[in-house]
Amino acid sequence: MSENNKTENTHDENYMHRQRTAQKPLKRVSNQSAPDMSNRRSYKNPQDGDFQGRQMNAPNGSQPRRKPSSKKKGSGKKKKKKKTLCQSIRELFPLRDDSVGERIRKLVFLGSIAAIIICGYLVSDYYLDLWKSRKLTDSIRNIYIVYDKKDTDEEKSDGMEKYYSLLDGARKLLDINSDSVGFITIDGTPVQNPVVKANDNNKYLNLNFYGEQSRAGTIFLDWRCNFDVVENHKLLLQNGDNLVVYGHNMGDESMFGSLKYYQRNYNYYIEHPIIQFNSNYEVYNYKIFGIMLIDAFDESDTKFDCWNKLYFSGEEDFYEFVNEVKRRNIVLNDVDVKFGDPLLTLSTCNTILGDNGRLLIVARRVRDGEDLLEGTQNASPNPNVKYPSLYYQTRTNESYDPTAPFEPYGP
């Protein structure tokens, strides 16, 4: 056989062998006969990365976890639907499916919110009312000051009897409120107010000068006091020996809210010792000589019913009253007081004794030709004040010594 024929036969045999081999089915290799691939390198497929290598090297034949593909749609948690405003509000209230603890929590929360709203309303309403009251008082004061003039040509006398004529400012106030009896001023303080008088001491507790509801009320004269009651330019009734004027102790220092400073600091007295209290007909100045704390419901041996002492039966009665004021006086001074001096008492609430506490400022009228400040500038705190029994119940380290030196008013 030639070399060419041998070569052709060899090629044919190889071709047939490959064909038979391709047709034979591949045998499945069991796990026991599986070749040890632990020392082989990972085959890195461009698509699968090193997954095949990691799969072969995983201990105990465990399959490594595949990282979730971020490209897959719908992966991750579903987004919650946004709640409507009504649904959010509804969930603040107890629901049928709520547990008992959750219901209690919601009720406590709602109660707290309601309390905050109510308190906020009350506080804002209180200060709004005070603001309105101050504006009203300022407008009345401006009216009074503008017309606070007296025509001296109208002053006349009929023998020994004095002739009274209305002050222009008082006439304007009477046009607004017929209960107006005067105007009170303490220079340098918020006390600059009209004063009214009714048939009882309750009417103006919560009414302003225009007769409208107001927490600040109006400063008023005790209904039992007469103060320049005039008819046909002549004095009709005798004035009270002790004019008692009431006013609220307001938080913004309006009405009689600033009087507390007399009790707190004796220098305040030195700076503001004069009260001007005009009637509808005359201008009067009063000099403060007493500042005291009173228990309005005191029934002990320290009881002092001073607001019911409007008229004095005589000299002894008068000095008994003013000397009791001096024993209780918080600020010592050199103002003298004599029988026949008309007195003025300002009364307001005070918190030192709780709801029972009253602060009283007592003054006597300035005499004709007298220096306004005489006796007021040499003032000092009183080291031995006669306070009500209620005061000493909470201050056991303090006491009043009735045997201490005392210089009374009078002869």
- Is residue 206 in some structural domain? yes
Q: In this predicted structure, what is the pLDDT of residue 79? A: 63
Q: Is residue 151 part of a domain?
A: yes
Distance CA 47, CA 385 (A): 102
Specify if 1 maps to a domain.
no
Q: What is the distance between the terminal CA atoms of the chain, rounded to a whole angstrom?
A: 177
Please report whether residue 205 resides in a domain.
Answer: yes
Total count of domains within the chain: 1
Is 64 contained in some domain?
Answer: no
Where in the sequence is the domain holding 253, given as residue range(s)? 139-393
Going by C-alpha positions, the residue among 204, 246, 200, 240 that lies closest to residue 221 is 246
62 assigned to some structural domain: no
Burial class (CB in 10 A: 0-12, 13-18, 19+), 70: exposed
State which residues of the chain have pLDDT below 70.
1-81, 121-122, 124-127, 148-160
Are the beta carbons of 218 and 201 closer than 8 angstroms?
no
- Domain membership flag for residue 331: yes
Buried b (16+ CB within 10 A) or exposed e, 179-202: bbbbbbbbeebbbbbbbbbbeebe
CATH at residue 284: 2.40.260.10
Q: What is the pLDDT of residues 129-141, one digit of tens each?
A: 777 888 888 899 9
Residue 276 neighbours by CB distance under 10 Å: 18
Residue 209: CB partners within 8 Å, gap ≥ 6? 136, 137, 140, 173, 176, 177, 180, 194, 196, 218
pLDDT at 21: 55
Please indicate, yes or no, if residue 307 is contained in any of the structural domains: yes
pTM comes to: 0.72
SS (HEC) of 259-285: HHHHHHCHHHHHHCCEEEEEECCCCCE
